[in-house]
Chain A
Amino acid sequence: MTPEQALVEVEMITCIIDGFEVTVPKGTLVIRAAEKLGIQIPRFCDHPLLSPAGACRQCLVDIEINGRAFPKPQASCTIPVETGMIVKTQLTSPVAEKAQKGIMELLLINHPLDCPVCDKGGECPLQNQAMSSGRGESRYEGVKRTFEKPVAISSQVLLDRERCVLCARCTRFSDQIAGDPFITLNERGALQQVGIYEKDPFESYYSGNTVQICPVGALTGASYRFRSRPFDLVSTPSACEHCASGCAMRTDVRRGKTLRRLAGEDAAVNEEWNCDKGRWAFKYISSKERIASPLVRGTDGELHEASWPEALAAAAAGLKGKRVGVLVGGRATVEDAYGYSKFARVALSTNDIDFRARAHSDEETSFLSAVALGLTTTYADIDRADKVVLLGFEPEDESPIVFLRIFKQVRKRSLPVLTVAAFASRGSKKMKATLLPVVAGNEAAVIAGISELTSRSVILVGERLSESVGALSAAKALADSTGAKLAWIPRRAGERGALDVGAISTLLPGGRPVSDPAARVDLAAAWGVDSLPTSSGRTTAQILAAAESKELDAVVIGGVDPLDISAQALGQLLNTFVLSLEISHSAVTAIADVVLPVAAVAEKSGTFLDWEGRARAFDKAIPDSLTRSDVRILSMLADEIGAAINLPTVAATAREIQSLDKWDGATVAFAPVSDGSAPKVSGSEAVLASHRLLLDLGTLQNGEANLAGTARSATANISQGRAATLGVAEGDLVQISTQRGSVTVPAHITEMDDSSVWIPRNSEGSQAIANLGNVSGEVVTVVKA
């Protein structure tokens, strides 16, 4: 029997609840067994993903085991079922019913009667259960407890203590799930209250979950407070567009405007949680910068509003018969990316297409083409892992639900975590990760030194590993030699799907190698075209270089910020025809010849693939939007060019993707690259490392000041040795500079190699590419500011 089978074979227990027999796995709590029978026992503190508290006492039931009755009612949220157990809930036991009514009365004596102005009103467990299990009238004639209200425990979460029933869901979540015990129960007795330490606000990446699981209106989101009533909202199940974690979400819209987003439930992926970026970063949709109509640059050099036929004609004129490159961006849905992929091959006859709007390498191209698509690692593998290795990957910042999943196992069974990074991030510290400190550039050698992995180990490779020469090759070699499971976790939501549908020079949809004639024939047949382009295509960097050198005449650009790629990227586009498909005005639209407005995620349907390759389909949350998905526009444009791709709708596109068989022919071979190394530095020189913090200057976070208020501020992380040499203490300003420019931020002294310096990649006051022209592995100068 394998360990997996052993896990599966759980003893089953049969008991009787309200006269009905129910059989559940051993360890199931009575309250949950009752749910299985459709018997709802009222509760507040109980939450299936938090350890039982037994605090609110609302779920009291009568229990007897083998004829022996408990002398008093028991909290059904704390007691596992046993064989021979007979449970009587409020439905069959007058004692349980009175106990529950009594508790409800006690919960309400100090609860304010402000339901009409409370955000929770209409979806409030206290309100609902007071109706179902409470008395008609209170016998309380005393004085209600009052507190100052509301208290901002962070810029995005507000606390109304007098509404709080002290169920400790929020504090347990923060401690047990997020590992951020910044809110606690303080004081005691009738004065017990949720609170923070005055100087340290509740700045957790996951704080919004506490608002969602609060069973009353004690915790509310600053951005939603007093905005709406739940019954005025139209809810649509959706998928998060912010990262590759793949959260199921719910988007709540009133009259065409998104008012809030909640974590959806998916036990296999995000359980019931999401991160604050996913929850609160949606105002970009209603930004003033949104592009309302197509734009065409006139002879005066300015963009002018144009009709769709006009704009499509201008775009077609710039592309037809030309040498064109396609930059998809990392945020396209599977359907849109497929549209770009097919548009490039069919309408533009090119393989010059790449979804990577970030640092990348040929080694990575090979890794993605030959390795990444075949990976089968899932969240469940993390649950079962005997060790997790993080390579070029900071899960809390770059894929927050992956972090929660690892942290869960760290907490539950001390899962060992190993991280190859410049320093131990806050996330690493929470995971009690063993740090293998690395100077950017030396990753391959450090990875090669990792041992003691087994087939149950999981190696999580972040997109940043491509920034270090030979590191991806070393990661693959490590997985091959140990049998450990490998996963590639890009930061953006669209990259995994774009890879799947061939929005990259080396692959066609379904993993068909461009270099394989049989694969091309197969796809050409499916697409009903005579042939597909054979020449090996260009990467993002090569497309930009070709544009600059006029080897390309035009570039089609999806959602791309040139400063995510390089300091030169925008300049390289100045001499070509640029077609931009965008939701908002940007650096690219500013230089584009034709701009075609496209739909934001909430305005369209589509699918993302999370890092596992799991499909995350979603519907339009804003039904009456007039904007169109990229694929539909590309299809119109292809018609205009005269090389139809026949993708009139997202649904039609999804069907076509479905109908393409997965390629079962030969795949390309991985071309390993030998180890690179970090440059040698001396004196005030240092080797730069950076990554993007979860909350930063990313464009999809635009317009949400409350969220931005909880972003971690920029620091320059340096070693104790460097700090001593510089004469710098914690918090003193240091300046990091290159020929391009500099960053001046407070120093944070931490365990790292003396020759390293780390800064956040795109935070307020610290933008690696814009300020320094590099993201990692380059020599910078560090001085006391």
Chain B
Amino acid sequence: MTQLTPVLSAHWDEADSFTIAGYRRHGGYTAIEKALAMEPDAVIQLVKDSGLRGRGGAGFPTGMKWGFIPQGDGKEHYLVVNADESEPGTCKDVPLMMANPHVLVEGVIIASYAIRANYAFIYVRGEVTHVVRRLQAAISEAYAAGHLGKNIHGKGYDLELVLHVGAGAYICGEETALLDSLEGFRGQPRLRPPFPAIAGLYARPTVVNNVESIASVPSIVNNGAEWFQSMGTEKSKGYTLYSLSGHVANPGQFEAPLGITLRELLEYAGGIRAGHQLKFWTPGGSSTPIFTQANLDTPLDYEGVAAAGSMLGTKALQVFDETTCVVRAVLRWTEFYKHESCGKCTPCREGTWWLVQILRDLEAGKGTAADLDKLLDIVDNIAGRSFCALADGAASPIISSLKHFREEYMQHLNQGGCPFDPAASTLFATAGSR
């Protein structure tokens, strides 16, 4: 049984964990002291050595990303933290920033120092007011304590950190859309190349990292690359936050080494809610192809999940039991992608519009088996044809649900409607409090 390894969440049960005092009590802001004593390149090397990979979904090696920033180019560099957590099922960065914003701030300072940035931004989604408050307070405390601003810790390093609050757009989680948004434009993805490492924010070299990735950095600096390497699997090193939600007895956050399985996590979470069985689940948010019972023992690391035909994504495990209609679930996700499509490219804009109409018909039991093939053919004209990965995400639940649950779609068509009782899948059905 894989043991849980709370690092980021280690002190979330303390009433003042979000304050600078609470953070310092457990060694907060000692990592910057160490990092500022190192050459920036040595910090990059340390993070490379740790094997830390991006926790925002793509899993790109963080140190390598930092290493792409051209040095000595005489240009401003920027660090931008992607705190626009909006992928359905994903709920790790928001509690992290609420309970311990300082670990993110400290990570920002170290990362900015490493890439020689004197300006950093945290782009946080706008729909989480209290998280915004906590970040504002943490940044202001860090300035007051001399961790930010001019001549940090007397080491001659300057850093300004600005909190930028979004305003409701899932697409801004896509790093180039985020940069356009931060520059004051509509959050639509940019052409690549140039990549952000060469021409990112204000056309300057820019690193965009996920909250959890940056928040992991202080622990690596404090404990060393080997410590981090000691956790996880061959190519997926370290600990990470797994978020369990849905029809489990006790949903929540579980910090564990990469490679833990759903079976193990379910054990920690008290299993599927009483009297029910697992039907399908997402390994890393709604954009990752759904898994079933068959994947209970799939190692939840980048390689393991990919080998099983999905993606680790954000480790957002949304668990659904047998009361859930898969067509309804997929329709709702498709409506989400339609709502969040930025509109820039044809396949995503028009495709999600069309898919929603088809799925509504299918859920209502209208159509024939041929419509399922048509649906797959249309998805084939959308996935891999769009400007960014949003439409690929929209295709995932459709393709994977048809792979695993084609029969259930047919059931809708055969009986002219949805065979499920939506009330049965609500939490109130268990709690009996309707």
A175-188 CB contact bits vs B (8 Å, 1 = yes)? Answer: 00000000001011
Q: 8 Å CB contacts to A: which residues of B186-210?
A: 186, 191
Contacts of B21-73 to chain A: CB distance below 8 A: none
Measured CB to CB, the nearest residue on chain A to B357 is: A142
Contact A190 B347 (CB under 8 A): no
Pick from B340, B347, B357, B382: contact of A143, CB below 8 A.
B357
Asked if B169 and A103 sit within 8 Å, CB to CB, the answer is no
Residues of chain B within 8 A of A537, CB atoms compared? none
In the complex, how many angstroms separate the beta carbon of B396 from the nearest chain A beta carbon?
A: 15
Chain A residues positioned under 8 Å from B350 (CB to CB):
106-107, 109-110, 190
> Is residue B82 within 8 Å, beta carbon to beta carbon, of the partner chain?
no
In chain A, what residue has the closest Cβ to B171? A188
| A36: Cβ under 8 A from any B Cβ | no
B376 interfacial contact with A, CB 8 Å: no
In contact, A188 and B346 (Cβ under 8 angstroms) = no
The answer on a CB contact under 8 Å between A57 and B346 is yes
Chain B residues with CB under 8 A of A98: 380-381
Closest Cβ–Cβ distance, residue A171 to chain B (whole Å): 11
A residues 46-73 with Cβ under 8 Å of B? 52-58, 60, 71-73
| B282 interface contact, C-beta 8 A | no
Q: Which residue of B lies closest to A105 (CB)?
A: B381
Chain A interface: which of B151-159, B251-259, B383-391, B398-406? B383-391
State whether A189 touches B342 (Cβ < 8 A): yes
Say yes or no: is A99 at the interface (Cβ < 8 Å to chain B): yes
- Smallest beta-carbon distance B251→chain A, Å: 30
Contact string against A for B residues 165-196, beta-carbon threshold 8 Å, 1 for contact and 0 otherwise: 00001000000000000000010000100000
Residues in A neighbouring B381, C-beta threshold 8 A = 98-99, 101-103, 105-106
- Compute how far the CA of A187 lies from the CA of B186 in the bound complex, rounded to whole angstroms: 9
Those of B298-350 within 8 Å (CB) of chain A: 338-347, 349-350
**Contact A106–B343 (Cβ < 8 Å):** no
A649 at the binding interface (Cβ < 8 Å): no
Given known contacts A99-B381, A102-B385, A188 and B354 CB-to-CB distance under 8 angstroms: no
Q: Closest residue to B190 on the A side, CB-wise? A: A54
User: B346 touching A190 by the CB < 8 A rule?
Assistant: no
Cβ-defined partner of B354 (8 Å) among A73, A101, A109 = A109
- Counting contact residues on chain A (CB < 8 A from B), the size range is 35 or more
Q: Are B346 and A56 in contact (CB under 8 A)?
A: yes
Chain A contacts with B in 129-173, Cβ cutoff 8 A: 139-143, 145, 165-166, 168
For B343, B350, B386, which residue has the most chain A Cβ atoms within 10 angstroms? B350
A73 close to B385 (CB less than 8 A): yes
A103 close to B186 (CB less than 8 A): no
The listed residue with most B CB atoms (<10 A of its CB), out of A55, A60, A107, A145, is: A55
B346-392 interface with A by 8 A CB criterion: 346-347, 349-354, 357-358, 374, 378, 380-382, 384-387
Nearest CB of A to B227, in Å: 36
For B382, the chain A residues whose CB sits under 8 A away are 102, 106
The smallest beta-carbon distance between A492 and chain B, in angstroms, is 41
A57 near B347: Cβ-Cβ < 8 Å: yes
Closest residue of chain B to A111 (Cβ to Cβ) is B350
A139-B374 in contact (CB<8A): yes
B338–A189 touching, CB < 8 Å: yes
Interface status of A78 (Cβ within 8 A of chain B) = yes
Contact A190 B343 (CB under 8 A): yes
Nearest opposing residue in chain B for A104, CB measure: B346
Interface: A191 (CB within 8 A) = yes
Are B349 and A166 in contact, CB atoms less than 8 angstroms apart? yes
Distance (whole angstroms) from the CB of A562 to the closest CB of chain B:
52
From 73 to 114 in chain A, residues with beta carbon under 8 angstroms from any chain B beta carbon are: 73, 75, 78, 98-99, 101-103, 105-107, 109-110
Q: Which residues of B contact A534 (CB under 8 A)?
A: none
- Min Cβ gap A90→B in Å is 13
**In the complex the two chains form, is A189's CB within 8 Å of B387's CB?**
no
The complex places the Cα of A98 from the Cα of B384 at a distance, in Å, of 12
The interface residues of chain A lying within 8 Å CB-to-CB of B353 are 109-110, 142, 145, 189-190
* Residue pair A55, B186 in contact (C-beta under 8 Å): no
Please tell me if A192 contacts chain B, counting CB pairs below 8 Å: yes
When A56-B346, A57-B345 are in contact, do A190 and B385 touch as well, CB less than 8 Å? no
- In the complex, what residue of chain B is closest to A77 when comparing beta carbons? B191
Shortest C-beta distance, A136 to chain B (Å), equals 16
CB distance from B90 to the nearest CB of A (A): 20
The residue in chain B whose Cβ has the minimal distance to the Cβ of A187 is B343
Bound complex: CA A141 to CA B357 (Å): 9
For A107, what are the chain B residues with a Cβ–Cβ distance below 8 Å? 346, 350
Scan residues 7-64 of chain A and give those whose CB is less than 8 A from a CB of chain B. Answer: 52-58, 60
Q: How far is the CA of A55 from the CA of B382 in the complex (A)?
A: 13
CB distance from A541 to the nearest CB of B (A): 54
Residues of chain B lying within 8 A (CB to CB) of residue A57: 345-347, 385-387
Contact (Cβ within 8 A) B347 A103: yes
Which residue of B352, B374, B386 is within 8 Å of A190 (Cβ)?
A: B352
Residues of B within 8 A of A60 (CB): 385
Contacts of A189 in B (CB 8 A): 338-343, 349, 352-353
Q: Are B343 and A142 in contact (CB under 8 A)?
A: no
Cα distance A404–B346 when bound, in Å? 31
Contacts of B346 in A (CB 8 A): 55-58, 103, 106-107, 165-166
Q: Shortest beta-carbon distance, A107 to chain B, in Å?
A: 6
Q: Give Cα distance in the complex from A75 to B378, angstroms.
A: 19
Query: What's the Cα separation between A60 and B386 when bound, in Å?
Result: 10
Picked from A71, A103, A166, the residue with its CB within 8 Å of the CB of B385 is A103
Q: How far is the CA of A336 from the CA of B385 in the complex (A)?
A: 58
Residues of A bordering B, CB below 8 Å: 52-58, 60, 71-73, 75, 78, 98-99, 101-103, 105-107, 109-110, 139-143, 145, 165-166, 168, 185, 187-192
Chain A to chain B: the 10 pairs with minimum beta-carbon distance, closest first:
A102-B381, A192-B343, A72-B384, A142-B357, A106-B350, A189-B341, A190-B353, A188-B343, A189-B343, A57-B346
| A-B contact list, 17 entries, CB within 8 Å | A56-B345, A56-B346, A57-B345, A57-B385, A71-B384, A72-B385, A73-B384, A102-B347, A103-B346, A106-B354, A106-B382, A140-B354, A142-B353, A142-B357, A189-B339, A189-B349, A192-B343
User: Can you name 9 extra interface pairs (CB under 8 A) apart from A102-B382, A139-B378, A189-B338?
Assistant: A54-B387, A57-B345, A75-B387, A107-B346, A107-B350, A109-B350, A145-B353, A168-B344, A188-B342
